[in-house]
Amino acid sequence: MNKHVKTFFPVVLAAAFIFSFSQSLAAVPPVDSKGVPAIATCPSATGTVQQPVLHFDKIIFTVKEKLEAANPADQSQLSALPLNSDLDIKVKDNPRTVADLKGKILTFLGASLNEKNRLKIQVTDVEYAVICAKALN
């Protein structure tokens, strides 16, 4: 065997071992495929009773076309919403249910809850907040 091959092989073997070892320490989190509700409680001042937590969504969205109001008396006010501009609403969230974001937006705005209106809404982002209920008292 060639002298250079004898010297080169251990170096390559050591480099491969170091590279594979450092890859096994990567901080890639595992995939969690189980959906469980984000139920939490806040400790009370005395620590004996757990206080409920309120969950909120801030839904950022755009209205692409004029919406149809659920109540015809509200149509002019609903039609005054700016089109193609970022808007947001803050709504209470139930962590035990699947959130229908477009449904929440339409009912919040007083728009008809139908497919035609759903197609006129584009959700751009959702932010989430959790607040200890006791803090509100």
One digit per residue, the tens of pLDDT, for the chain of length 137 reads 555 545 555 655 555 555 555 555 567 777 767 767 777 778 777 766 677 788 899 999 999 999 999 999 999 999 999 999 999 999 999 888 889 999 999 999 999 999 999 999 999 999 998 888 664 45
pTM to 2 decimal places: 0.68
pLDDT score for 114:
97
pLDDT score for 125:
97
pLDDT score for 60:
97
Other beta carbons less than 10 A from residue 102's beta carbon: 20
110-128 burial, b for 16+ CB within 10 Å, e for fewer?
A: ebbeeeebbebbeeeeeee
pLDDT score for 46:
72
CB 109 within 8 A of CB 67: yes
pLDDT score for 10:
62
pLDDT score for 50:
73
pLDDT score for 25:
58
pLDDT score for 40:
75
